[in-house]
Amino acid sequence: MKRLLPLLCLMALLAACEKDIEFDGAITEPMLVINAVALPDTTLSVEVTESRFFLVSQDTFTTVKNATVSLFVNGTFKENCAHQANGRYTSNYRPSEGDHIRLSVSAPGLQTVSAETMIPMRPVIERIDTSLSIPEAYPISYNYYDSQGNSIGGDTTGWNIHYKMTITLTFKDPGGQADYYRLVVKRQRDYYQEGYFENIWYTKDDIVFGETETGADMEEIIDMGTYNIYGTFTDELFDGRSYPLTFGVEEWIYVSNEDYNSGRMPLDSTKKASEDTEPYIIDLQALDKSYYLYLLTSSAYDPYSPFAEPVQIHSNVEHGIGILGAYAGSNLKLSLSF
């Protein structure tokens, strides 16, 4: 909305006129694109594709199946990653925290590219504190209508509970260097698909997330807030100290009548639906700078916003495009208990 507003005003005022024009600049050649994120104790998976000139119409990007993807760790050659399928190459080597990773990718007809990164150390989580509140709870009952059309309330069968859990995660930041973080909250959803994790939206109350909001109703009219969709932040405000990071999860839960009645808290959680009992996984990730910048710039990238200065998505690939990022996460599970 915020970007549309001036445009709408403009359009309302004027009958704008569009016409197709010839591109009269230099047509640039396709480049090698590599996409990879290195994690400790995990084999490295590298996607190799080809970029295309923006006026070329094509549904998918061309994958590069005949590339040589060389992996260097701490300055020494380790291996050529094996091609699996559709331009995806994997290593046998499982890097460790603190490893310096370099990829060199070459393919016939395209310029050889390289990228490097350093796998950060896993963050040290010191403690976690939670507080739970229930701002709203509504009884669920069977209602029926009599012959005059009046609603007659039936028995309460259960409750819809709106709960908010404020979480404070305290972790130790290594001093004397710029550190980049991302907070991820997820829940395992095996009922949906084996091994599937659902990302949980959380309130980014903490100042480090840099979110500003304009207030509930106003967003509908003019959106002046800034949002941090990937939950990234830096240690600029707490370099070298233990930092209590505050955020919150806020969800609705259905509780049957036996568990929750007349304002009393439900006593045991076993009768709640199974998807609501999955523990929250709080994953604090330390990111390398390139990956952090990639997340920041790609979330701001908006090709449909003609008035804003276009965003250059961060790339650390020499002579090519893409990203070789790295992160190391520490996580803990948090079960919801009333």
Partner 1 sequence: MNVRALLPLLLSMMAYASVNAITLSGHIVDANTGETLINASVFERTTGKGTVTNPYGFYSLTLPASSLLVRFSYVGYAQQTLALAPTKDTVVNIRLVPSTELSEVTVWGGDVRETGVKGSQMSTVQIPASQIKAIPTLFGEADLIKALQLLPGVQAGTEGSAGMYVRGGGPDENLLLLDGVPVYNVNHLFGFFSVFNTDAIKNVTLYKGSFPARFGSRLSSVVDIRMNDGNDQSYHGNVSVGLIASRFNLEGPIIKGKTTFNVSLRRTYADILVQPFIKIAAASDQSLSGMSAGYYFYDFNAKLSHILSDKDRLYYSHYMGDDAIYAGFKEHYKEGGNLTEESRMKMNWYWGNLISALRWNRIITNKLFMNTTASFTRYRFDLGISNVWEQRQKNPPAHFKEEQMVGYLSGITDYTFKADFDYLPTPDHDIKFGASYTNHTFRPGVSVAKMRSTDTTAFNLDTIIGDKNVHSHEFQVYVEDNMNLGDLVKANIGLHYSTFAVQQTFYHSLQPRLGLRFLISDKLSAKLGYATMSQYIHLLSNSSVSLPTDLWVPVTKRIKPMVSRQVSAGLFYNLLDEIDLSVEAYYKTMDNLIEYKDGASFMGSSTGWEDKVNMGRGWAYGVEFLAQRSFGKTTGWLGYTWAKSERLFDRPGQEINGGRVFPAKYDRRHDISLTLTHNLTKRIDLSGTWVYSTGNCGTLAMQEYDGLDIPDAQMWFSNNGHINSRNNYRFNPYHRLDLGINFHKQKKHGVRTWSLSVYNAYNNLNPFLVYPSSDYTYDRINDRYIEIKKLTQLSIFPIIPSLSYAYKF
The whole-angstrom separation of Cα 163 and Cα 167 is 13
Closer to partner 1 by Cβ: residue 249 or 296: 296
- Order across the sheet with 242-256: list the strands: 124-145, 151-172, 242-256, 202-203
* Smallest separation (angstroms) from partner 1 to the CB of 46: 11
Closer to partner 1 by Cβ: residue 272 or 278: 278
Residue-wise DSSP of 222-285: ----B--TT-EEESTTTTTSEEEEEEEEEEEEEEETTTSBTTBPPS-STTS-HHHHSPEEEEEE
* Smallest separation (angstroms) from partner 1 to the CB of 291: 9
* Smallest separation (angstroms) from partner 1 to the CB of 76: 26
The whole-angstrom separation of Cα 38 and Cα 126 is 25
The whole-angstrom separation of Cα 304 and Cα 3 is 9
The whole-angstrom separation of Cα 228 and Cα 203 is 10
- Which residues are 318's β-sheet partners? 114
Neighbours of 26 (CB within 10 A): 6
Lookup result for tokens 């997330």 = 209
* Smallest separation (angstroms) from partner 1 to the CB of 228: 11
* Smallest separation (angstroms) from partner 1 to the CB of 315: 7
Closer to partner 1 by Cβ: residue 73 or 293: 293
Closer to partner 1 by Cβ: residue 167 or 324: 324
Closer to partner 1 by Cβ: residue 170 or 298: 298
